[in-house]
Amino acid sequence: MTKNLRTIIALSLIPQIIIIKWLGKHPNWVEDYYSNGFYRFLSAGFRYVFGWIPFSVGDIFYTILGILIVRFFIQKGPLFFKRTRHFFREMFVGISIFYFVFHLFWGMNYYRLPIHEKLGLDNEYSTEELLDFTDRLILKCNALHNEIVENDSLPVQIPYNKSTIYRMTSEGYKNLEKKIPDFAYHPRSIKTSLYSTALTYMGYSGYLNPFTNEAQVNGLQIDFKYPTVSCHEEAHQIGYSAENEANFVGYLAAVHNEDIYFQYSGHIYILRYCLGEIKRRDEEIFEEYNKKLNYGIIENYLEVARFWQRHKNSAEPVFKSTFNTYLKANNQKEGIKSYNYVVALLVNYYKDRKI
């Protein structure tokens, strides 16, 4: 690569950012031509290529990338003092290529039409509507819990291993597709991350690799969330980059599965968000709603809380802060707080539907 070409690639980062931000102001274009056009074929192609491989190709890619970054700073680091302009040109060549590929392969989905507009839903709700939805959700959760364990004090244990859960996720998406064709998911490409230990100490349940379109799930936590987390990461694969929207789609995929453990996982996963929103609005009402739950459900929540508490460390807030900044930089103005937008989606989606 010639020096002039490297300079052009490095400087191209500026017009790339301008173009991305401009396109971000036209979500209908992104929705029609990228998310439901180019990306749909690209992502399916990646899943066909990598889905059959039993290990995470994306994690290996990140390992190689990390080695190359370290190699770059070892080789080019001295140039920072001797030939500063050359050093920054070389660095921005890599950044520019990474930025381009990230948005081409997946990142433009952050700028697609908000899912509430796509489905014709409101994005606001009253406290009364929240309480009504939560009441119905608690009844559903208690009924499913009683059906599984026949004892309201025992937590539910998911009886499936990881590979079985991954295989079963497709059934929920097949049923959901009949109601909402845009949520079709095929082929499947979901893996246990090779970096599950690192993800655990960072505080994450999974992630999507945007460069291989593999859904990566933290394999250390086997708890009630596992089926829904798997469905959540698959929602990212079909183009729902925003975490709140992936929560919404993942929940629907889990509860549309005919398996009762998937339904239980989805319902109590989302109940946690509703209870959290009630607590934010009125702690006394939150305490009242907490008492309506079967104690076994609370035990499931405590089981997860204890898992994360065991792995809590001083570095976790740094990773969460970094991810928060990443979300804000990618069109999620509320950052991690925007996760609670899923409550608005669900309250309005189930206004005229049975849970």
- Given pLDDT bands bounded at 50, 70 and 90, which one contains residue 331? low
- Given pLDDT bands bounded at 50, 70 and 90, which one contains residue 313? low
pLDDT for residue 319 is more than 50: no
Kindly report each contact of residues 284-293 with a partner whose C-beta sits within 8 Å and lies 24 or more positions away, as own/partner.
285/131, 289/131, 289/134, 289/138, 292/135, 292/138, 292/142, 293/138, 293/141, 293/142
Answer for the pair 289, 275: CB distance below 8 angstroms, yes or no: yes
pLDDT for residue 217 is more than 60: yes
Return the percentage of the chain with pLDDT > 90, whole number. Answer: 71
Answer for the pair 301, 289: CB distance below 8 angstroms, yes or no: no
pLDDT for residue 145 is more than 60: yes
Point out the least confidently predicted range of 115-129, 249-263, 327-341: 327-341
Mean pLDDT, rounded, for 135-140: 97
More confident residue, 323 or 125: 125
pLDDT for residue 336 is more than 50: no
Mean pLDDT, rounded, for 332-340: 52
- Given pLDDT bands bounded at 50, 70 and 90, which one contains residue 49? very high
Give the Cα separation of 230 and 227 in Å (integer): 5
pLDDT for residue 327 is more than 50: no
Give the Cα separation of 201 and 196 in Å (integer): 9
Confidence at residue 344, expressed as pLDDT on a 0 to 100 scale: 94
pLDDT for residue 260 is more than 60: yes
Average pLDDT, the chain: 89
Please, which residues have CB within 8 angstroms of residue 115's CB and are 6 or more apart in sequence? 121, 240, 242, 245, 248, 249, 345
Mean pLDDT, rounded, for 332-344: 64
Return the amino acid letter for 223: D
Strand 206-209 to 214-217 pairing: antiparallel
The secondary element (H helix, E strand) that includes residue 305 is helix 295-310
In three-state secondary structure terms, 43 is helix
Radius of gyration of the chain (CA): 22
- Given pLDDT bands bounded at 50, 70 and 90, which one contains residue 325? low
Question: Considering the entire predicted model, what is its pTM?
Answer: 0.89
